[in-house]
């Protein structure tokens, strides 16, 4: 199943695969090629990267695998991010971790991502984090240049407040297509702080990183986590980690904003679970049953 991120934005898969921990998947280059092919067969065609993932190495590993299956490239969407600079021998030589959204850095990061991913174009480029030193006119100019050159097709942001999003959007010569934010049954602020509403007002779909709470949903021992797990199992009608995982994703997918969860696993069985969550129908009452468990109180 596919969805359009915005009125004039790219089509992406309803579930995206996050590659932040790709180095930990334990796959050889040939194994990663097969995993990419398996994802595409399942309908998971959107792969989420950032220049810094794996200490600037994950894009390179993915690109090496992708180069062995060139027929796949037209069928997938590559998302990557820039703007965070790490202190790393693989990085640009920084002496302190910082943000850099200068036009020069954005263009250089995009070109480095193209080289590492071994592709002629990036489908979607995001500013990774809000930068207190951001010059929105400079960002807009860099984005426009990358689009005009054909190196990047669409642009968005990640972790921006709605005010920060609106500021950058006001200077863009074309629309931003998404805001990728943390969102899960454990992290619900985006539903109440104006983030989701701002996306909906602009008719764009948010992307949700850490849609399973970074594993906390399964390993957490707090009373709140236990309460949420119980609610998810009750809605699923069965106990167990699989029920919790599938129902937690279905809860996000049920929201009318069209949120695209970015799952962070390289395990095929878990990717298959995520795809199964697309078939789960959650009623409005059950959605609020899970919401109430997360908030720890009834709605007013």
Overall average pLDDT of the 81-91 stretch: 96
Confidence at residue 113, expressed as pLDDT on a 0 to 100 scale: 98
What's the mean pLDDT when you consider all of the chain? 97
Q: Which domains does the chain have, with CATH numbers?
A: 10-177 (3.20.20.100)
pTM of the predicted model as reported, rounded to 2 decimal places:
0.97
Q: So what's the pLDDT on residue 10?
A: 96
Is the confidence at residue 121, as pLDDT, over 90? yes
Q: State residue 26 phi and psi, 5-degree precision.
A: 70, 30
Residue 1 has pLDDT above 90, yes or no: no
Mean pLDDT across 20-24: 96
One-letter-per-residue 3-state SS of the chain: CEEECECCCCEEECCEEECCCHHHHCCCHHHHHHHHHHHHHHCCCEEECCCCHHHHCHHHHHHHHHHCCHHHHHHCEEEEEECEECCCCCCCCCCCCEECCCHHHHHHHHHHHHHHHCCCCEEEEEECCCCCCCCHHHHHHHHHHHHHCCCEEEEEEECCCHHHHHHHHHHCCCCCCCEEEECCCCCCHHHHCCHHHHHHHCCECCEEECCCHHHHHHHCCCHHHHHHHHHHHHHHCCCCHHHHHHHHHHHHHCCCCCCEEEECCCCHHHHHHHHHHHHCCCCHHHHHHHHHHHHCCCCC
Which pLDDT belongs to residue 27? 96
- The yes-or-no verdict on residue 22 having pLDDT over 90 is yes
Model confidence pLDDT, tens digit, residues 205-252 = 999 999 999 989 999 999 999 999 999 999 999 999 999 999 999 999
> Average pLDDT for residues 61-85, to the nearest whole number?
97
What is the model's pLDDT at position 253? 98
Active-site amino acid positions: 53
């Amino acid at each position: 199943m596919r969805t359009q991120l915005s009125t004039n934005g790219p089509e992406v898969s309803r579930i995206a695969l996050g590659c932040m921990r790709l180095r930990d998947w334990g796959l050889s280059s040939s194994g990663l090629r097969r995993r990419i092919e398996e994802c595409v067969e399942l309908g998971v065609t959107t792969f989420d990267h950032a220049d810094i993932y794996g200490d600037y190495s994950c894009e390179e590993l993915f690109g090496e695998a992708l180069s062995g299956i060139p027929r796949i490239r037209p069928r997938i969407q590559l998302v990557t991010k820039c703007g965070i600079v790490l202190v790393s021998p693989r990085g640009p030589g920084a002496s302190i971790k910082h943000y850099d959204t200068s036009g020069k850095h954005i263009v250089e990061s995009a070109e480095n991502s193209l080289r590492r991913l071994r592709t002629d174009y990036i489908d979607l480029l995001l500013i990774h984090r809000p930068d207190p030193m951001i010059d929105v006119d400079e960002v807009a100019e860099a984005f426009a240049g990358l689009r005009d050159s054909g190196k990047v097709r669409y642009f968005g942001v990640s972790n921006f407040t709605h005010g920060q999003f609106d500021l950058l959007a006001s200077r863009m010569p074309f629309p931003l297509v998404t805001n990728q934010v943390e969102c899960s049954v454990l992290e619900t602020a985006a539903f109440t702080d104006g983030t989701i509403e701002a996306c909906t007002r602009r008719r764009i779909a948010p992307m949700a990183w850490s849609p399973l709470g970074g594993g906390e949903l399964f390993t957490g021992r707090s009373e709140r986590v236990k309460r949420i797990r119980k609610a998810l199992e009750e809605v699923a009608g069965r106990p167990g980690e699989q029920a919790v995982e599938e129902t937690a994703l279905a809860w996000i997918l049920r929201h009318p904003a069209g949120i695209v969860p970015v799952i962070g696993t390289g395990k095929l069985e878990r990717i298959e679970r995520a795809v199964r969550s697309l078939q789960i129908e959650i009623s409005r009452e059950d959605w609020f049953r899970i919401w109430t468990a997360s908030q720890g109180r009834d709605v007013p």
